[in-house]
Amino acid sequence: MDISVSFSKTRPPPFSPSLCRQLSLRPNTPQLLRFSRNNGTFRRKPPPTISRPNKLAVTAIQISNLSENEDDFVLEDVPHLTDFLPNLPSYPNPLQKSQGYSIVKKTFVSPEDVVAENVVIQKGSPRGVHFRRTGPREKVYFKPEEVRACIVTCGGLCPGINTVIREIVCGLNNMYDVEDILGIEGGYKGFYSKNTMMLTPKVVNHIHKCGGTFLRTSRGGHDTHKIVDNIEDRGINQVYIIGGDGTHKGAALIYEEVKKRGLQVSVAGIPKTIDNDIAVIDKSFGFDTAVEEAQRAINAAHVEVESVENGVGIVKLMGRYSGFIAMYATLASRDVDCCLIPESPFYLEGRGGLFEFIEQRLKENGHLVIVVAEGAGQEYIAAEVHAADKKDASGNKLLLDIGPWLSDKIKDHFTMSRKMAVNMKYIGYTSFCLLWSWL
Ligand SMILES: Nc1ncnc2c1ncn2[C@@H]1O[C@H](COP(=O)(O)OP(=O)(O)O)[C@@H](O)[C@H]1O
Ligand SMILES: O=P(O)(O)OC[C@H]1O[C@](O)(COP(=O)(O)O)[C@@H](O)[C@@H]1O
């Protein structure tokens, strides 16, 4: 997805000086920057494409399979129960008679609906990758009274998880007449190490007002066989899994095992990332809250540095591999002079470097605010710190802390090399936004 960004006339572009140079942007002039969102964590590397003779492939195929037809239409599809249970009976969607759901033409998503990855294409160029559209179908493959659903939340937190849990429970119950819904506690390992809890609309009525996850979460502990044994033993036939890319790798393994055992069990993944770095979907839940909460940190830094001589404020925001929170917070704020993100390398010394930019802004304006996404500049710290390659319980690399490192570097450079006193103000990681519950 492309995001067009316009800068005001009065402020320099809030991106790193080196990024400006790469893009031939001149500070202090209105600019238009095209930023390509191309490293979504849920995007899979395309395997070799499979030719398909039909115009629009509608048969569900394996996850990560690609189908391509003669006019370069590529469908990257998700698997369906009928792939391995072809004779499954289907039933009219209960929504058809639901009072809370008005039945109008095109209420249901056609099985042939797809969403294009690229909005802009040229005449004669390949039509590119497409994904199956989600939404209610006219037919379903479960009778409501036979459904035993479960919900599990795994991996990192994100604002809005409780709202999603509540909507699944209320949607299943009020719209699909499902009454048997279990909560799995504490992530994947909860399947085999904890008791379940019954989830009803009443139980989840107020949870959207709280942050975190009502079902609790964990990292590590994904044991496919134990999880699927447990699903079988409990008679669960719909599994709703809320989590990030690690969680979805685990969900894909659960699906494979379910398929191997020939179970009539649907596995649905609900993508959770505070970073909004998933291609195709409009926005990931939690992102807006993170950007909004970041304003408080940026405002605080701005107030501090404006009140002193040569004030330099650094605000570190979330973003391991993507700078969307930092970039959107920067653009929303208008108080940020420079934004450092993992996608755009920067350097400190010399022409076009960060130090030169800071000095220029201090001369012009007497203070500046830098926003840095936590994944930016990792290569510099790693080169200096020689830290052990530490990982969390799920195997994710733990980041080195860019905030204090950058703060020290700036202070040392100006006080020692430039003999200039600077007033540093550092505001760290804004994980407090995770405590909030709105979307
Ligand atoms: N490659 C994988 N295969 C199976 N399970 C995985 C894999 N990667 C992560 N998981 C499991 O998914 C859960 C969440 O993963 P994690 O990376 O911590 O968070 P996130 O889903 O937010 O990326 C953990 O229980 C972890 O064991
Ligand atoms: O401190 P933790 O729990 O590892 O999480 C922090 C990091 O997780 C991320 O939010 C990504 O996780 P999600 O995509 O699962 O939300 C990073 O951008 C963030 O900085």
Interhelix angle 402-412/354-365, nearest 10 degrees: 70
Segment 348-356 long-range contacts (CB within 8 Å, at least 24 positions apart) = 348/380, 348/409, 348/413, 352/17, 352/18, 352/21, 353/17, 353/18, 354/16, 354/17, 354/18, 354/410, 355/410, 355/413, 355/414, 356/17
Whether the Cβ atoms of residue 414 and residue 407 lie closer than 8 Å to each other: no
Whether the Cβ atoms of residue 107 and residue 90 lie closer than 8 Å to each other: no
Residue with tokens 């709105």: 438
Domain 142-272 and domain 287-428 have a common topology: yes
What are the tens digits of pLDDT across the range 358-377?
999 999 999 999 999 999 99
What whole-number distance in Å separates Cα of residue 304 and Cα of residue 427?
Answer: 11
Ligand 1 binding pocket includes 219 (Cβ within 6 Å): yes
Ligand 2 binding pocket includes 342 (Cβ within 6 Å): no
What are the tens digits of pLDDT across the range 249-305?
999 999 999 999 999 999 999 999 999 998 788 899 999 999 999 999 999 999 999
How many angstroms is it from 261 CA to the middle of ligand 1?
A: 23
Concerning whether 275 is annotated as a catalytic residue, the answer is yes
Ligand 1 binding pocket includes 224 (Cβ within 6 Å): no
Question: CB within 8 A of 9, min separation 6: which ones?
Answer: 29, 30
Question: CB within 8 A of 428, min separation 6: which ones?
Answer: 316, 403
Closest CA to 35 of 398, 281, 323, 301: 323
Residue with tokens 């909030």: 436
Ligand 1 binding pocket includes 243 (Cβ within 6 Å): yes
Pick the CATH number of 142-272 from 3.10.25.10, 2.60.40.1840, 3.30.930.10, 3.40.50.450: 3.40.50.450
What are the tens digits of pLDDT across the range 375-411?
999 988 887 776 567 788 888 877 788 999 999 999 9
Using most ligand atoms within 8 A of CB, pick from 193, 249, 278 the residue to mutate for ligand 1: 249
pTM as predicted: 0.81
At the top level of CATH, which class does the domain 287-428 belong to?
Answer: alpha beta
The domain spans of the chain are 81-136, 142-272, 287-428
Q: Which ligand neighbours the alpha carbon of 273 most closely?
A: 2
Residue 397: DSSP 8-state:
B
